[in-house]
Structures are given as structure tokens and as C-alpha cells.
Amino acid sequence: MVRAGKEIEKKVLLEALELIFEDRVFVSGNKTVIFK
């Protein structure tokens, strides 16, 4: 169970970093918009 959680966490973090580096994340005040 712990291993599965770590794998999911890695996937989510990787996807978030890819979106940020591709300039598809826009933060305005306390709101975040993600373009996919």
C-alpha cells in the first residue's frame, strides 16, 4: 500500500512539474488555472 502511494505521488508530481515547465499553469492571487 505504501509503495503504491509513493508511485502515485511520483506520477502526480511529475505531471505537475511538466505543466509548470510548459507554462500551462497560471496563478492569479489565490486562484490557479491549469491549461491542458
Which grid cell is 10?
511520483
Mean pLDDT by 10 residues, the chain (36 residues): 94 95 94 91
pLDDT score recorded for residue 27: 93
pTM of model > 0.95: no
Residue 16 to residue 1: CA distance in whole angstroms? 23
Q: Are 5 and 16 in contact (CB under 8 A)?
A: no
Which of 17, 20, 15 lies closest to 33 in space, CA to CA? 20
- Which residue type sits at 33? V
**Sequence-ordered list of residues with C-beta below 8 angstroms from that of 19, at least 6 positions apart, any chain:** 25, 34, 36
